[in-house]
Amino acid sequence: MVWIPGFGRYKAQPGNRVGDHAPDFTLKDDGGHDVTLSHEVGERPVVLVFYPRAGSPICTRQMCSLRDGWGELTARARVFGISYDDVDAIRRFKHDEKLPFVLLSDSDKSVARKYGVHGTFAPARVTFVIDSSGKIESVIEHIKAGDHAAQILASLPRDAGA
């Protein structure tokens, strides 16, 4: 994948690597409500999907892959999309593409920094799978936009959501 200046790249560092406890955060969701990661961790894994921009062609294809695989994804994990877009932009994107999962606004880039995916203009396209104890179980760096749901499902434990 070609890196574009200003877009993030995943930088593995203490606190954002496989086996580390996932950094906690609180962000506004597409409805303007606070979502805190530590409140979401529990019986099912949590999947954090960082994507560059709501409505861009590749991001739309990626998020629609999650929408199309939603039945199996929602049975096995809680999924959150995260971008720098403001609440209004992610609300429109969710509505326009009929996305069934929660989108979060990281407009100050603080969460992207914690996870080592920040860039000046956009976060890296990276997905983190967090297990039920709050530890990072896997990091998906090489995203296939049209097959991202399958990539996530393959990285989830077989008993997730059971």
Give 96-155 pLDDT, tens digit per residue: 999 999 999 999 999 999 999 999 899 999 999 999 999 999 999 999 999 999 999 999
The verdict on residue 122 lying in a domain is yes
Whole-angstrom CA distances from 139 to 44, 125, 132, 145, 152 are: 17, 11, 15, 15, 10
The verdict on residue 14 lying in a domain is no
Out of 48, 49, 59, 99, the active site residue is 59
CATH number of the domain enclosing 46? 3.40.30.10
The verdict on residue 113 lying in a domain is yes
The verdict on residue 107 lying in a domain is yes
The verdict on residue 147 lying in a domain is yes
Beta strands per DSSP E along 115-162: 126-130, 136-140
**Domain region containing 45:** 26-155
Split into its structural domains, the chain has a count of 1
Q: Are 127 and 152 in contact (CB under 8 A)?
A: yes
Q: Is 64 a catalytic residue?
A: no
DSSP 139: E
Q: What is the pTM of this model?
A: 0.93
The verdict on residue 71 lying in a domain is yes
The verdict on residue 89 lying in a domain is yes
